[in-house]
C-alpha cells in the first residue's frame, strides 16, 4: 500500500517537529519545511530549509510534491507586549507567518487534497478564542486562522477533505516565547509539551472516515506563567 504524504511547516522545532515525528510513526512520508533542522532529524522524507515568507520559492518547492494527503500549518511567530509597542516589522512578520502562509498553502494544495480526500491541520492557539492583552496582534491573527479553517471546512467538506484547528495553550520546548519576557511555569501541570499537541493530532487524523473533528483546545491543568530571569 502506498504511504501517505504530509507537508508540515515549522517542522524544524517545537510543535511542528513533534508532529512530523509522530506522522512518520503513523506511516507518513513527511516533507518538513523549516529554517535550521537538527542533525539527527533523519526521519523526514525531505527537509526543505527555506523562509516561508519567500512565496515564489515556497510554491515552487511544494509543486514538486505530486500527492498530498495532509497539510499541517504549524509555523508560528509571536511578539508580545502592549499593542502600542508592536513595530511595523513585527506586525508584518506575524501577519505573514501566522496567517498569510497557511492561506497560501491551503489554496495551492487543496486540489491535491481533494484528490486524496485529505486533511488540513492548522495549529492556532488558545489566544484565538479570547481577549489577549499584551498579545493583541498575535491573538487576532490566530483568531483569523481559526475563522479561515472553519470556513474552508464548510467549502470542502462535500469533497471529503477535513479541516481541523488545534488550539494549544502554554507550551514549553518551543521558540514561541523567545520574544517575550515570560514563559510557562516549570511547575508540574502548568505547561504542555510539543508531544502533547502531536498526540492530539494523532487522535484526530485517525478518526474513522466520515467523522470529522473540526476544533480541539489543549490546555495544561493550571495556568501559570513566570517572568524570565534577567
Q: At 215, is the secondary structure helix, strand, or coil? A: strand
Domains assigned to the chain: 4-227 (3.40.50.720)
User: What strands lie across the sheet with 70-73, from one edge to the other?
Assistant: 46-49, 28-34, 4-9, 70-73, 119-123, 162-168, 215-218
pLDDT band at 227 (very low <50, low <70, confident <90, very high): confident
Whether residue 31 is predicted with pLDDT greater than 90 in this model: the reply is yes
Q: What is the pLDDT of residues 132-177, one digit of tens each?
A: 999 999 999 999 999 999 999 999 999 999 999 999 999 998 888 8
Q: What is the pLDDT of residues 51-75, one digit of tens each?
A: 999 999 999 999 999 999 999 999 9
pLDDT band at 1 (very low <50, low <70, confident <90, very high): low
Q: What is the mean pLDDT of residues 15-28?
A: 97
DSSP characters over 104-126: HHHHHHHHHHHHHT-EEEEE--G
- What pLDDT is attached to residue 63? 97
Amino acid at each position: 500500500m502506498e504511504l501517505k504524504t504530509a507537508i508540515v511547516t515549522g517542522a524544524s522545532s517545537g510543535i511542528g517537529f513533534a508532529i512530523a515525528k509522530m506522522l512518520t510513526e503513523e506511516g507518513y512520508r513527511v516533507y518538513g519545511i523549516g529554517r535550521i533542522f537538527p542533525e539527527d532529524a533523519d526521519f523526514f522524507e525531505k527537509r526543505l530549509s527555506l523562509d516561508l515568507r519567500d512565496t515564489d520559492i515556497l510554491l515552487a518547492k511544494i509543486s514538486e510534491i505530486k500527492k498530498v494527503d495532509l497539510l499541517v500549518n504549524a509555523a508560528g511567530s509571536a511578539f508580545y507586549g502592549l499593542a502600542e509597542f508592536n513595530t511595523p516589522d513585527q506586525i508584518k512578520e506575524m501577519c505573514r507567518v501566522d496567517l498569510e502562509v497557511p492561506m497560501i498553502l491551503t489554496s495551492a494544495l487543496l486540489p491535491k487534497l481533494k484528490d486524496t480526500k485529505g486533511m488540513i491541520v492548522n495549529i492556532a492557539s488558545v489566544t484565538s478564542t479570547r481577549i489577549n492583552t499584551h498579545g493583541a496582534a498575535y491573538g487576532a491573527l490566530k483568531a483569523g486562522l481559526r475563522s479561515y479553517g472553519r470556513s474552508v471546512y464548510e467549502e470542502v467538506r462535500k469533497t471529503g477533505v477535513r479541516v481541523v484547528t488545534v488550539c494549544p495553550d502554554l507550551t514549553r520546548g518551543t521558540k514561541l516565547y523567545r520574544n517575550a519576557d515570560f514563559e510557562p511555569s516549570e511547575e508540574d501541570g502548568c505547561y504542555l509539551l510539543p508531544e502533547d499537541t502531536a498526540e492530539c493530532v494523532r487522535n484526530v487524523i485517525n478518526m474513522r472516515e466520515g467523522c470529522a473533528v473540526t476544533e480541539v483546545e489543549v490546555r495544561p491543568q493550571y495556568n501559570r506563567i513566570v517572568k524570565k530571569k534577567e
